[in-house]
Amino acid sequence: MSTDKVFSGLKVLDVGTWIAGPVAGTILADYGADVIKIERPVEGDQYRILSGLPTSPDGVTDYMWQMDGRNKRSIALNIKTDDGIKVLRQLIAECDVYITNQPYSLRRQLGLEFDDVKAIKENVIYASLTAYGEEGPDREREGFDLVAYWARSGLMDLVRDPDGKPAMALPGMGDHPTAVSLYASIVTALLHRERTGEGSMVHTSLLANGIWSASCIAQAGFSGDPNTLNEEGGKLVSYENYRLLKSKRNFAATVYETKDQRWFGVTMIRTPEEIESFFDILGFPDLLNDDRFETPESRFEHSELLSAMATESIQTRDAQQWLADFSAAGLNIVLLAKVEELIDDPMVKCNNMIVAPTDESSPMSYVINHPVNVSSLDRVGPTRAPDVGEHSEEVLRGLGYTDDQIEELRAHNII
């Protein structure tokens, strides 16, 4: 546990599972907070096993857990028992931040809603993560990022090839950015407490972060009454034209496969000069002198033809040959990376997007860093993520429990 970082001395309880809530605690831990993770005895957090499932890439260890469980202490505690909840309330009395993504039905059952926790620690920062939000008919509904962030937000419908079905998201794709939102909320509340002495409840949801991620397109739907008609009798706010345009093969919105079966996109080829240079490299000089491609309007009208021309040409050479020519012409085109190649990307390493563990017992070669950076603040280097209940005795002794009392709790399966 660090003693010289910005959050050194800050006590945090991670009373959650999986990713979005607990990873807000991971970020706090990376900046020095003492984060204690409350886990079920024996099984622990179900997230521990995700790396080992057949649907996950092969790895040398429980890599997901090592990434997101780092720099914390774990106490295995059965909080559905009287003695277990007593221990948790003792920990609450000493904590600064309480993070939870428990379903509200369970919080009510255990007496762990905001008012309950505030009654124990008046100035606590209570950080709540839900699937759909704190109010409304789905307030208590369980949800995961593949459902709440990806599907219900509209992202799943929007992000797909014109000819394709909606695609599934990656595990944690919505959880990790949502964790950053929860972290930002916690830090804002800590600043408020520093200035006023007041605690706060902070919250975010997977749905809110999904809508925020889609907001450049989604905002259109909230810009006016969707039932209002324009002068031509069409809806003032409508996605019909957008979806129609997305269904056309616009050359700049197409990904292209090369001879060696790699891919790149040309989304940021926009100006006439860039378009002319791009097609000149592809073997179509003086393209803009053709009446069909002379203006933005005519190029749009013949966008599928442009896409077909580019597709046929790009298939004749390997990716690196094309990219060398594009780079020499100053065109902003990059290869669609494969994740296994990122370890060799110099920008990833030199900007500490991945770092080597500082703990020799860690089974990881590198750990992916969270994206919150403050130049004047050092982080705690990644340590091995704890085993289930690895620090149970240590945490209980910190609360004043004797060895005999600890053994009594263990004998009754409380820890």
Residues 183 and 53 in one domain: yes
Residue 227 lies in a domain: no
Residues 48 and 189 in one domain: yes
- pLDDT bucket at 248, cuts 50 / 70 / 90: low
Sign of CA dihedral 216, 217, 220, 222: negative
Residues 193 and 252 in one domain: no
Task: Please give the structure tokens belonging to residue 380.
Answer: 């705690």
Task: Please give the structure tokens belonging to residue 381.
Answer: 């280097």
Q: Domain containing 303: what range?
A: 243-339
pLDDT greater than 90 at residue 261: yes
- pLDDT bucket at 90, cuts 50 / 70 / 90: very high
Cβ neighbours for 55, distance < 8 A, ≥ 6 positions apart = none
Q: Of 35, 36, 26, which Cα lies nearest the Cα of 64? A: 26
Give the C-alpha separation, 33 to 3, whole Å: 9
Residues 154 and 70 in one domain: yes
Residue 349 lies in a domain: no
Note the pLDDT of residue 76.
Answer: 97
Least confident among 77-81, 95-99, 159-163, 402-406: 159-163
Query: Following DSSP, what letter does each residue of 169-183 receive, concatenated?
Result: PPTTTTHHHHHHHHH
Residues 207 and 274 in one domain: no
Mean pLDDT of the chain: 90
pTM above 0.75, yes or no: yes
The 10 Å Cβ neighbour count of residue 169 is 20
Is residue 204 within 8 A of residue 396, CB to CB? The reply is no
Sign of CA dihedral 175, 180, 184, 189: positive
Mean pLDDT in residue range 132-142: 90
Give the C-alpha separation, 78 to 43, whole Å: 11
Give the C-alpha separation, 75 to 86, whole Å: 14
- C-alpha separations of 346 from 341, 342, 349, 354, 383 in Å: 11, 8, 5, 11, 24
Residue 87 lies in a domain: yes
We report the CATH number of the domain holding residue 402 as 3.40.50.10540
We report the CATH number of the domain holding residue 269 as 3.30.1540.10
Residues 194 and 69 in one domain: yes
Count structural domains, the chain: 2
Is residue 263 within 8 A of residue 255, CB to CB? The reply is yes
Residue 370 lies in a domain: no
Cβ neighbours for 411, distance < 8 A, ≥ 6 positions apart = none
Residues 158 and 95 in one domain: yes
Residue 345 lies in a domain: no
Residue 190 lies in a domain: yes
Residues 206 and 139 in one domain: yes
Give the C-alpha separation, 141 to 179, whole Å: 19
